[in-house]
Amino acid sequence: MKIELLVVGKTKQDYLAVGIDDYQRRLRPYCPLSIKVVKEKRGRLPENARRREEGEKLISLVPRGALLVVLDPGGRQLSSEELALDIGRWRDTGKQLISFVIGGPSGLSDEVRKRAELTISLSRMTFTHEMARLLFLEQLYRAFTILAGSKYHK
């Protein structure tokens, strides 16, 4: 099973980029992981037009047959164990690719949300979209270590 993380905009904060790289490296033994970046729209565009354009680009990156999971504050809150169970179930039922999407500062378009098979939330608290990347990758790593019976989770 392959996993891809689709995000809007580059990670600008060095300390977050270092953490993201660390978890990408830690995940290698568990799954192939790629991070695809859609250019963040800037300028005088209204926020809804910005979300729509970014959303179209995100959707264009999701291959046919991929399971699309959106990270959004309004999504279902999962424990680390519940995320691990979902990932294990997807793996065991033969899902070849899971595409996780994190929007940019303007959020996600309705089109992206409608296309998702599952919408999850990292927290009811607000994080920058760059921090959300790091937090999600840590949780993804935690989920795989739970499935493997590793001591990391404890």
Domain membership flag for residue 15: yes
Domain membership flag for residue 153: no
Can you give the residue range of the structural domain that contains 10?
A: 2-148
Closest CA to 62 of 33, 101, 93: 101
pLDDT in tens for each of the 154 residues of the chain? 999 999 999 999 999 999 999 999 999 999 999 999 999 877 788 889 999 999 999 999 999 999 999 999 999 999 999 999 999 999 999 999 999 999 998 899 999 999 999 999 999 998 999 999 999 999 999 999 999 999 887 6
Give the predicted TM-score (pTM) of the model. 0.94
Contact 90, 44 (CB under 8 A): no
Domain membership flag for residue 141: yes
Domain membership flag for residue 33: yes
- CATH at residue 130: 3.40.1280.10
Domain membership flag for residue 154: no
How many structural domains are present in the chain? 1
